[in-house]
């Protein structure tokens, strides 16, 4: 039953030493997770307890969404809250009561910790418990930290999902839980593939609505669709659930490897697995081949951002013929990444954490064909003549599973195609025109 | 605590970043947690700068909390100096660092960095972005500017433009040209474009042009006191204001006023008969105090609009805006609460909004045309083309920008005359905007929905209209109301209701509607 799993690279990256750096980190804090979580969880509200900076970050990151009566907001700490003039717990109660009276559609409320709330040691867990008691059963109140001091970008989702795990009920049922917030269309595709193999029932964390929540227990198995879910992984294991280790479902190979691990767990026979996956695998390969054409033989450098860097580098190296030079990641979870490290061909530098100035020096030294980096660095690097792919898009675009494999390759190819398409530097008439003038 | 879904201004350290990023040769060391580097992308994305802001963040994490955050700051400041070799540095704390009290100023002073290091005290839990910019520039000026000989020829400093300022780039160009026509040179333009060495030469100018009071007033007041430089109080946005500005400056410099109006087109465009239908259009104006004050004057005196309401989000400008509102016979709204602004707009039901990025979305939701006149703005309002707000060309730009969102005259007439057209109807919006034609809905009164709003987003207030709990619209009257074109329907509804209330009526009939129309006719 191992025949349908991807074959590891001859010499993987499992033993590659990791460069650990400390210095300026040019990354988002975990609050940004709210931007996609609030769309996914239809009856949840995210109340950040923080400062004007936190509110400003959310609106800068949320762009236009904020105008659609968003399901998030910031309780901005004021002078009085700090000076101890106001009892912060009372203040939270008041703000929450006001909010819930205005928004009866809210069934789950997350109190989200920020750097300021953590530094002043505001106990949001206690507040959540108290408020849960007060507003049960209509509203469930939970808390987690999305602060920059604790979390980096996608880790906000991890912290949120991990907070939900302890309150899920007990069950003895043998069920599969698919963990990670995916775009709806992608989630449906995944459920379709699993269903076609006879695997079920399948639960998803997070569910779109509080009413859809399910139980956990010793017979629960779970698979992660996102690499940044270390704390959620640990919380699920604490509840007795068992993890199915697998590469992440990015690209044809990653998706096949991920499905194969689950198929193996549920004793799906190879013929059925092939029957279900053959056509989409073929489709994915063809789509990638077409979209990845400009990528072949090109080098790529990943700045740390989301923890998606390793699986993406694996996809680019193995399916798009790119050469990763450096793969930076904000956090390297050895256990979860083991299947990825095995698949990744030896060669690239692995870096955890960041000293942005030093890392930029390495980028300039290496002059990669493509640099994957955040929006704070992308335009400055472009103006130095480097081609960039801004990393946030990889979190805001459907990229998982077979049907998106071609789009995923296309995301990386587009900046290279654009660079080739633009003729801005010198006055170059189009070839045909020049010909005609002759 | 105060719940906020939208903040008009960022925290004060973002204001300090706007000063540092506008300048050259100045570096900012900001004590801040990991994650606060998000602010970089305001400059690299929204303003599309091709370099990183000159800001080094300490980006401390939870594991650093305790004694060594101060060391982290010291190391970051040292590394920043060694790498960037700036002419001067500013150092300060973000809101989180303010809580851990490492005293960046004191730490930096003890480090013997061989250039001036200017400490910033920005109270993040009381003040906001504009204060941060104003205070930062004031501290830089105070630390570096010294009295010096005045230039031989008349010259001024342009004070206030910063990075991420609404149209600051082109306002500088426009004013520089205008001054040149007068025979006045620009000594230093600051913060935007200036380096610390330039700041030391501020004193050579004969006067200061305070372009944006929000970000330059404290420095101008200090220079007036310490360097003996008077500064202009008129902000040259609009035709009248530009003329007044030229006269004011000429007075300060003791020279004849001269303004080349050969390219000024607003007055003729506004007088031409095609603009007659603009007369009395009710506008609501919101933004920063400076732009609101300027817009109100243009709206009333130069476009012939009727100013239905004014307000600003920066309480530093509350006094002038209140005074202005009084002058215009309306109530001022001083608030940074987005929901409150939305409520006011809803109740005033203007035909047009002049506001910020946020009002644009309120307008979209309520189906009211909107033009942007003030920060905060998004990437579209940092355009590639020349688009000042100030001076002669600024007036031309403003005329076009404000008229564009409105339905054009002939279309407006046709909408009044023929209510049943299948493609040319209320909900379709102004036809020169090129959206997809929307078929007229069965009820004839398609929700003039903004488009991007998912249905769940409908606000709670969308239920019964204000007043309907006491006043009942009879079905016939309601149908008659719907025959009024959408851009004036809100006003008609409001007028009718207040007319009915005045008369002590509980029901509104078709007659009431027309009685009210006659009552308010002009
Ligand atoms: S890094 Fe901390 S202070 Fe900054 S926005 Fe995130 S949670 Fe708020
Ligand atoms: S990517 Fe650019 S346009 Fe889009 S939200 Fe960010 S800054 Fe605005």
Q: Min CA distance, B102 vs chain A (Å)?
A: 13
Distances (CA, A) of A131 to A46, A97, A138, A295, B223: 14, 9, 11, 52, 54
B313-332 pLDDT tens trace: 999 999 999 999 999 999 99
Distance in Å, CA B380 to ligand 2 centroid: 10
Distances (CA, A) of A358 to A26, A370, A390, B83, B520: 12, 18, 19, 11, 70
Q: What is the pLDDT of residue A145?
A: 98
Beta-carbon-side half-sphere exposure of residue B377 (alpha carbons within 13 Å): 23
Mean per-residue pLDDT, B171-193: 98
Distances (CA, A) of A296 to A282, A288, A408, B281: 19, 11, 15, 60
Backbone region of residue A198 per phi and psi (left: phi > 0; alpha: psi in -120 to 50; beta: other values): left
Q: What is the pLDDT of residue A85?
A: 65
A338-384 pLDDT tens trace: 999 999 999 999 999 999 999 999 999 999 999 999 999 999 999 99
B403-428 pLDDT tens trace: 998 876 566 666 666 666 555 566 65
**Ligand 2 atom closest to residue B46's alpha carbon, by position in its atom list:** 7
Q: Tokens 């404290």 — which residue?
A: B218
Q: What is the pLDDT of residue B465?
A: 41
Assigned token pair, A335: 């256990």
Contact present, A327 and A349 (Cβ < 8 Å)? yes
Nearest to A153 by CA among A302, A34, A265: A34
Q: What is the pLDDT of residue B432?
A: 62
Cα distance between residue B291 and residue B474, in whole Å: 43
Q: Which of the ligands is closest to the CA of residue A390?
A: 2
Cα distance between residue B456 and residue A334, in whole Å: 42
Cβ of B379 closer than 6 Å to ligand 2, yes or no, is yes
| Burial status of residue B355 (CB atoms within 10 A of its CB: 0-12, 13-18, 19 or more) | buried
Q: Is the peptide bond before A406 cis (omega within 30 degrees of 0)?
A: no
Distances (CA, A) of A57 to B6, B37, B134: 10, 10, 21
Q: Which residue has the higher pLDDT, B454 or A431?
A: A431
Cα distance between residue A97 and residue B147, in whole Å: 58
- pLDDT surpasses 90 at A240: yes
Q: Min CA distance, A194 vs chain B (Å)?
A: 31
Chain B partners within 8 Å of A59 (Cβ): 6-7
Distance in Å, CA A61 to ligand 2 centroid: 8
Cα distance between residue A263 and residue A276, in whole Å: 11
- Residue nearest (by alpha carbon) to ligand 2 atom 5: A63
Please name the residue of chain A whose CA is at the shortest distance from the CA of residue B83.
Answer: A357
Q: What is the pLDDT of residue B455?
A: 34
What is the DSSP code string of B178-229? Answer: HHHHHT-EEEEEESTT--HHHHHTGGGSSEEEES-HHHHHHHHHHHHHHH--
What is the DSSP code string of A74-99? Answer: EEE--HHHHTTSS-HHHHHHHHHHHH
Mean per-residue pLDDT, B438-455: 41
Q: Is the peptide bond before A137 cis (omega within 30 degrees of 0)?
A: yes
Q: What is the pLDDT of residue B520?
A: 81
Cβ neighbour number for residue B482 with a 10 Å cutoff: 15
Q: Is the peptide bond before A121 cis (omega within 30 degrees of 0)?
A: no
B10:A24 CB<8 A: no
What is the DSSP code string of B431-490? Answer: GGG-PPPPPPPTTS------SS--GGG--GGGSSPTTTTT-EE-HHHHHHHTTS-HHHHH
Mean per-residue pLDDT, A227-242: 98
- pLDDT surpasses 50 at A23: yes
Distances (CA, A) of B340 to A361, B132, B307, B312, B314: 48, 24, 19, 12, 14
A95:B45 CB<8 A: no
Q: Min CA distance, A89 vs chain B (Å)?
A: 10
Using DSSP bridges, classify how beta strands B207-210 and B26-31 pair: parallel, antiparallel or unpaired: unpaired
Q: Which of A57-71, A94-108, A291-305 has maximum average pLDDT?
A: A291-305
Chain B partners within 8 Å of A88 (Cβ): 1
Cα distance between residue B291 and residue B481, in whole Å: 35
A73-87 pLDDT tens trace: 999 999 888 877 678
**Beta-bridge partners for A223:** A178
Interface A-B: count of C-beta contacts within 8 A: 198
Contact present, B378 and B399 (Cβ < 8 Å)? no
Task: Give helix A356-366 / helix A375-383 axis angle, nearest 10°.
Answer: 40
Which positions ≥6 away from A150 have C-beta within 8 Å?
Answer: A30, A113, A118, A159, B61, B62
Which positions ≥6 away from B510 have C-beta within 8 Å?
Answer: B474, B476, B477, B480
A269-296 pLDDT tens trace: 999 999 999 999 999 999 999 999 999 9
Alpha carbon distance, N-terminus to C-terminus of chain B: 47
Tell me what the pLDDT averaged over chain B comes to.
Answer: 89
Alpha carbon distance, N-terminus to C-terminus of chain A: 66
Nearest to A49 by CA among A113, A137, A98, A106: A113
A96-149 pLDDT tens trace: 999 999 889 999 999 999 999 999 999 999 999 999 999 989 999 999 999 999
Tell me what the pLDDT averaged over chain A comes to.
Answer: 93
Distance in Å, CA B94 to ligand 1 centroid: 10
Q: Tokens 């989702």 — which residue?
A: A157
Please name the residue of chain B whose CA is at the shortest distance from the CA of residue A147.
Answer: B35
Report chain B's C-alpha Rg in angstroms.
26
Which positions ≥6 away from B66 have C-beta within 8 Å?
Answer: none
Q: Tokens 């005293």 — which residue?
A: B103
Does B67 contact A at CB distance below 8 Å?
Answer: no
Cα distance between residue A213 and residue A229, in whole Å: 19
Using DSSP bridges, classify how beta strands B306-312 and B155-159 pair: parallel, antiparallel or unpaired: unpaired
- pLDDT surpasses 50 at B462: no
Cα distance between residue B240 and residue B236, in whole Å: 8
Contact present, B38 and B17 (Cβ < 8 Å)? no
- pLDDT surpasses 90 at A4: no
Q: What is the pLDDT of residue B423?
A: 58
The shares of helix, strand and coil residues in chain B, as percent rounded to the nearest 5, are: 50, 15, 40
Using DSSP bridges, classify how beta strands A72-76 and B2-4 pair: parallel, antiparallel or unpaired: antiparallel
Backbone region of residue B88 per phi and psi (left: phi > 0; alpha: psi in -120 to 50; beta: other values): beta
What confidence category does residue B361 fall into, taking pLDDT thresholds of 50, 70 and 90? confident
Q: Min CA distance, A120 vs chain B (Å)?
A: 8
Residue of B31, B32, B96 to mutate, testing the A interface (most A Cβ within 10 Å of its Cβ): B96
Question: Rounded to 10 degrees, what is the CA torsion of A396, A399, A400, A402?
Answer: 160
Cβ of B45 closer than 6 Å to ligand 2, yes or no, is yes
Distance in Å, CA A373 to ligand 2 centroid: 15
Distance in Å, CA A56 to ligand 1 centroid: 9
**Ligand 2 atom closest to residue A64's alpha carbon, by position in its atom list:** 5
Q: Which of the ligands is closest to the CA of residue A52?
A: 1
Question: Rounded to 10 degrees, what is the CA torsion of B353, B356, B362, B365?
Answer: 90
Contact present, A311 and A227 (Cβ < 8 Å)? yes
- pLDDT surpasses 80 at B127: yes
Q: Which of the ligands is closest to the CA of residue A63?
A: 2
Which three-class secondary structure state does DSSP give residue B89?
Answer: strand
Q: Which residue has the higher pLDDT, A208 or A325?
A: A325
Contact present, A398 and A183 (Cβ < 8 Å)? yes
Show which residues of B are catalytic.
274
- pLDDT surpasses 70 at A64: no
Q: Is the dihedral of CA B499, B502, B508, B512 positive or negative?
A: negative
Q: What is the pTM of this model?
A: 0.90
Q: What is the pLDDT of residue A70?
A: 78
Nearest to A223 by CA among A207, A209, A239, A204: A204
A53:B457 CB<8 A: no
Q: Name the residue of B41, B42, B45, B47 to mutate for ligand 2: max ligand atoms within 8 A of Cβ.
A: B45
- pLDDT surpasses 80 at A398: yes
Cα distance between residue A402 and residue B121, in whole Å: 54
Share of chain B above pLDDT 70, in %: 88
Widest pairwise Cα distance in chain B: 82
Q: Which residue has the higher pLDDT, B367 or A143?
A: A143
The least confident of A73-87, B147-161, B347-361 is A73-87
- pLDDT surpasses 60 at B466: no
- pLDDT surpasses 70 at B506: yes
């Amino acid at each position: 039953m191992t025949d349908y799993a991807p074959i590891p690279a001859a010499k993987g990256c499992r033993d590659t030493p990791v460069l650990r750096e400390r210095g300026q980190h040019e990354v988002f804090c975990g609050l940004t997770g709210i931007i996609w979580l609030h769309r996914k969880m239809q009856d949840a509200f995210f109340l950040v307890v923080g400062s004007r900076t936190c509110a400003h970050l959310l609106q800068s990151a949320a762009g236009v969404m904020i105008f659609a009566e968003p399901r998030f907001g910031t309780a901005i700490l004021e002078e009085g809250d700090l000076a101890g003039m106001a009892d912060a717990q009372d203040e939270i109660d008041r703000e929450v009561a006001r909010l819930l009276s205005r928004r009866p559609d809210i069934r789950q409320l997350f109190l989200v910790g920020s750097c300021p709330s953590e530094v002043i040691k505001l106990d949001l867990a206690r507040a959540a418990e108290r408020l849960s008691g007060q507003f049960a059963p209509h509203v469930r109140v939970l808390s987690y930290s999305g602060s920059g001091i604790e979390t980096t970008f996608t880790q906000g989702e991890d912290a949120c999902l991990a907070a939900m795990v302890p309150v899920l009920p007990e069950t003895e049922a043998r069920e599969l839980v698919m963990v990670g917030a995916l775009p709806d269309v992608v989630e449906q595709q995944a459920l379709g593939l699993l269903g076609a193999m006879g695997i079920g029932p399948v639960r998803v964390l997070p569910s779109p609505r509080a009413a859809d929540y399910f139980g956990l227990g010793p017979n629960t198995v779970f698979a992660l669709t996102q690499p940044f879910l270390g704390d959620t992984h640990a919380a699920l294991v604490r509840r007795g659930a068992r993890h199915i280790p697998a590469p992440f479902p990015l690209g044809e190979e990653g998706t096949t490897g991920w499905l194969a691990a689950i198929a193996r767990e549920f004793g799906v026979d190879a013929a059925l697995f092939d029957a279900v996956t053959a056509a989409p695998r073929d489709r994915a390969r063809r789509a990638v081949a077409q979209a990845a054409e400009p990528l072949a033989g090109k080098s790529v450098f990943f700045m740390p951002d989301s923890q998606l860097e390793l699986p993406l580098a694996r996809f680019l190296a193995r399916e798009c013929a790119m050469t990763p030079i450096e793969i930076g990641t904000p956090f390297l979870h050895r256990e979860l990444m083991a299947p990825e490290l095995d698949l990744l061909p030896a060669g690239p530098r692995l870096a955890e954490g960041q000293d942005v100035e030093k890392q930029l020096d390495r980028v300039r030294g290496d002059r990669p064909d493509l640099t994957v980096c955040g929006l704070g660095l992308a335009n400055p690097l472009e103006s130095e003549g480097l081609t960039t792919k801004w990393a946030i898009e990889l979190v805001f675009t459907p990229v998982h599973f077979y049907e998106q494999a071609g789009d995923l390759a296309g995301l990386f190819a587009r900046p290279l195609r654009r660079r080739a398409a633009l003729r801005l530097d010198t006055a170059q008439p189009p070839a045909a025109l020049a010909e005609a003038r002759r | 605590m105060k719940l906020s879904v939208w903040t008009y201004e960022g925290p004060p350290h973002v204001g300090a970043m706007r000063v540092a990023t506008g300048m050259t040769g100045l570096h900012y060391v900001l004590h801040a947690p990991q994650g606060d580097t998000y602010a970089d992308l305001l400059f690299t994305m929204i303003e599309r700068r091709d370099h990183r802001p000159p800001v080094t963040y300490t980006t401390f994490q939870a594991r650093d909390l305790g004694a060594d955050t101060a060391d982290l700051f010291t190391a970051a400041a040292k590394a920043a100096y060694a790498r960037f070799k700036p002419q001067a540095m500013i150092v300060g704390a973000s809101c989180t660092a303010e809580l851990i009290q490492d005293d960046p100023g004191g730490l930096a002073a003890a480090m013997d960095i061989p250039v001036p290091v200017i400490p910033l005290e920005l109270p993040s839990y009381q003040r906001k972005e504009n204060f941060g910019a104003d205070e930062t520039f004031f501290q830089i000026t105070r630390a570096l500017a010294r009295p010096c000989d005045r230039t031989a020829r008349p010259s001024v400093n342009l004070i206030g433009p910063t990075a991420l300022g609404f149209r600051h780039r082109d306002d500088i160009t426009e004013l520089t040209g205008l001054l040149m026509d007068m025979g006045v040179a620009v000594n230093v333009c600051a913060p935007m474009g200036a380096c610390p060495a330039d700041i030391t030469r501020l004193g050579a100018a004969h006067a200061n042009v305070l372009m944006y009071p929000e970000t330059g007033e404290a420095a101008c007041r200090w220079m007036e006191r310490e360097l003996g430089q008077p500064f202009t109080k008129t902000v040259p946005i609009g035709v009248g204001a530009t003329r007044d500005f030229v006269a004011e400056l000429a007075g300060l410099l003791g020279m004849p006023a001269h303004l080349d109006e050969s390219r000024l087109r607003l007055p003729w465009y506004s007088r031409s008969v095609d603009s007659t239908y603009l007369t009395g259009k009710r506008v609501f104006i919101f933004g920063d105090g400076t732009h609101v004050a300027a817009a109100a004057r243009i709206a009333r005196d130069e476009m012939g609009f009727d100013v239905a309401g004014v307000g600003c989000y920066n309480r530093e400008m509350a006094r002038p805006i209140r005074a202005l509102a009084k002058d215009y016979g309306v109530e001022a709204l001083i608030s940074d609460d987005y929901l409150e602004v939305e409520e006011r707009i809803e109740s005033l039901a203007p035909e047009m909004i002049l506001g910020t990025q946020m009002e644009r979305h309120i307008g979209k939701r309520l189906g009211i045309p909107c033009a942007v006149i003030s920060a905060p703005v998004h990437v579209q309002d940092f355009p590639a083309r020349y688009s000042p707000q100030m001076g002669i060309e600024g007036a031309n730009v403003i005329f076009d920008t404000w008229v564009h969102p409105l339905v054009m005259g002939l279309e407006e007439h046709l909408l009044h005359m023929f209510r049943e057209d299948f493609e040319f109807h209320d909900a379709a919006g102004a036809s020169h905007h090129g959206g997809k034609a929307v078929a007229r809905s069965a009820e004839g009164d398609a929700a003039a929905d903004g488009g991007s709003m998912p249905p769940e987003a409908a606000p709670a207030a969308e239920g019964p209209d204000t007043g309907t709990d006491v006043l009942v619209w009879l079905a016939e009257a309601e149908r008659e109301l719907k025959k009024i074109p959408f851009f004036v329907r809100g006003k008609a509804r409001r007028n009718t209701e207040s007319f009915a209330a005045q008369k002590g009526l509980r029901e509104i009939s078709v007659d009431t509607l027309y009685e009210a129309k006659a009552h308010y006719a002009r």
